[in-house]
Chains A and B, each alone.
Chain A
Amino acid sequence: MLATSPVATQAPGAEEGDAHLLLDHLQKSFGDFQAVEDLNVSVRRGELIALLGPSGCGKTTTLRMIAGLSSATSGRILVDGREIQSLPAHDRDMGLVFQSYALFPHMSVERNVAFGLEMRGIARDQLKARVAKALELVQLGHLAQRRPRELSGGQQQRVALARALVIEPSILLLDEPLSNLDAKLRDQMRVEIRDIQQRLGITSVFVTHDQVEALSMCDRIAVMDKGRLAQIGTPQDIYERPATPFVAEFVGRINKLPGQMRDNSTITVAERTFKTTRNVGESGDVTMMIRPHRIEMVKRGTPSDGRNVAHGTIARATYVGDILEYSVELTDGVTLAVETATGGHSRTFSHGDEVELRWSPDDTIVFGAQA
């Protein structure tokens, strides 16, 4: 590495300001392989931030560096403005839920959860009460005496969660803590985690590759791609104003059509023209993107009030509970995905219906084609 410190202060990194946890030009390589590259994230006190990204993008590696279980190749980690790289893991007061749970196999569920409190020298009766409360929270009070190997995967995961929550750490690091739970339990646990986190004001980093989880629970989302930060922002920022095609495609479903910019607000896609208000200086070949549920589907011939319009035929309709997913073939073979809510007043279409699609120029996202 070059001498990093002068560069670090100049380069546009995370601003220190009121950050509780700050990752500054964080870098981790395994041999030639860069697992985490130039990561700048600033987490405010009491904030719950999601670390979202595809498998292998460096989420676990990042958490391990924060927790002090592996050392950064370069860059700094600061807590309350103090560098902590030299602080050993056991002095960092961070709770970590391991992706692989990492429960103590020779201890009962209760002893597992009590371990962190024992290390903190909590008095016996208070310890018992807190352990019981934590187990109640993850709905495992009745299994307190079991060994980890006598539990299901989801139960083990909840023990891991209770073990990290019970110590009420100043920073909580969660590595896909709900990945093994059923949908209902997962919803309940999301609420519980969010509740504790807000009540105690615990600064938290929540790793997930479930975008619904990230969007619904977290104050802000950091999207990672191949070890780099692709975008960081509020759920709305990430969803409505994705900074890169990768973010647009990774967070939520999206239609992708190749086209050309005619002028700053007009795109042609295979002889059709559409309007956009979302072009920031692209010209020539571009990729146009529209969220499936931002497309309204009506019978042909209804007036269009200035929105983008396309005609097509329903090729496939799939019922997925809350929503209906349609695949609509436009006349020249281009296919668009469209989602509508089921029930209520929205009308349903079936295979072969001729429909008109409409969407706002505000929802018509444009990226340069090479990206």
Chain B
Amino acid sequence: MEQKNSIPFTIVVGLLFIFLLAPVLLVFPMSFSGDSFMSFPPSSWSLRWYEALPQNRVLINALWTSLGLASVVTILSLVIAIPAAYAIARMDFFGREALFALFTAPLLLPSIVLGLAILIVFVGVGLISTFPGLVLAHLVVTLPYALRVLATALSTLPHQVEEAASSLGATPFTVFRRVTLPLMTPGIVAAAALAFLVSFDEVVISLFVVGPRITTLPVELYRYVDTRADPLVAAASVFLILGTVAVVLIVERTMGLNKAVGKS
């Protein structure tokens, strides 16, 4: 924004922020509650829910599953989306636009529809309640994000720089390795962060794929809240919030969030 923000504008934005963030911030006092039920404000304070958290085997197992899942999904998203984005941004072939539309379509579909569709397909091939099943299901949602961010990063990268490298004798692969890849690093970091967070956070689609053998942290938290009403989830949420903030900060530190998401 060019001109200085006016005072009323600042106030409106401030109020909006409070409105959006208030529920999230409430989680922090709640997690230090000494009560056995969620109530605000808590009648007493304690660390008992932080002590109870590591004792809960179900949640801890789900956490490891989610971390592993998000890592695998992130790596696969990059491995698939980098060449795909390169092909879409750099090569001229029939059906290029259509392919991009197809890849990014899941962004527009309601998760519940996607989840149902995945369930129908997976039941037939025995992928329900398996790790590969979860990976595939998550890829459906993370790939569009990764592809978008990487395609934006590539489209802002001047093609002539790559041409300069090839005219200096670099083979296409060397051009990619020495010029294209380093220049799209900010985009790759952003795509990785986004894929990781989306996978780690995913509830709706996971609900259709998890089963007795394997389950994810968001799904377990959801189930926990469904059956119990103690502030344990508040303590878990604090860690999730801090983790997310950490990822965003890393992205911000490495190259500025705006640049990573492709703005300005």
Contact surface of A with B, Cβ cutoff 8 Å: 67-69, 88-96, 98, 100, 102-106, 115-116, 119-120, 163, 167
Contact = CB atoms under 8 A, between A and B. Distances in A.
A104 B164 contact: yes
Contacts of B72: none
Nearest to B160: A102
Interface stretch (B7-15, B94-102, B166-174, B211-219): B166-174
Given A98-B160, A119-B174, A104 B167 contact: no
A16 B165 CA distance: 31
A100 B160 contact: yes
11 contacts: A67-B167, A69-B167, A90-B167, A90-B168, A90-B169, A90-B171, A95-B167, A96-B167, A102-B161, A104-B164, A119-B168
Nearest to A116: B168
With a 10 A CB-CB cut-off, give which of B172, B178, B183 has the most chain A CB atoms: B178
Interface of B: 158, 160-161, 163-172, 174-175, 178-179, 182-183
A93 B160 contact: no
Contacts of A67: 167
Contacts of B163: 69, 89, 98, 102
Contacts of B179: 104, 106
Nearest to B162: A102
B182 A106 contact: yes
Contacts of B182: 106
A104 B169 contact: no
A115 B171 CA distance: 12
B168 A167 contact: yes
A120 B169 contact: yes
A105 B161 contact: yes
Contacts of B174: 119
Given A104-B161, A105-B161, A119-B174, A89 B167 contact: yes
A102 B182 CA distance: 15
A103 B163 CA distance: 10
A106 B160 contact: no
Given A98-B160, A105-B183, A167 B169 contact: yes
B155 to A, nearest CB: 16
Contact of B168 (A68, A105, A106, A115): A115
A341 to B, nearest CB: 43
A102 B168 contact: no
B242 to A, nearest CB: 33
B158 A119 contact: no
A104 to B, nearest CB: 6
B16 to A, nearest CB: 36
B183 A89 contact: no
A94 B169 CA distance: 9
6 smallest beta-carbon distances between A and B, as pairs: A119-B169, A116-B168, A102-B160, A102-B164, A89-B166, A96-B167
Contacts of A93: 169
With a 10 A CB-CB cut-off, give which of B166, B171, B182 has the most chain A CB atoms: B166
Contacts of A116: 168-169
Given A89-B163, A102-B160, A102-B161, A119 B183 contact: no
Contacts of A100: 158, 160
A310 to B, nearest CB: 52
A104 B165 contact: yes
Contacts of A103: 161, 164
A89 to B, nearest CB: 4
A18 to B, nearest CB: 26
Given A104-B179, A106-B183, A119-B174, A88 B166 contact: yes
A116 B170 CA distance: 8
Given A98-B160, A102-B163, A105-B161, A163 B183 contact: no
With a 10 A CB-CB cut-off, give which of A68, A96, A100, A119 has the most chain B CB atoms: A119
A69 B162 CA distance: 10
Given A89-B166, A93-B169, 4 more contacts: A68-B167, A69-B167, A95-B168, A120-B169
B169 to A, nearest CB: 4
Given A89-B163, A90-B166, A96-B164, A102 B158 contact: yes
B117 to A, nearest CB: 41
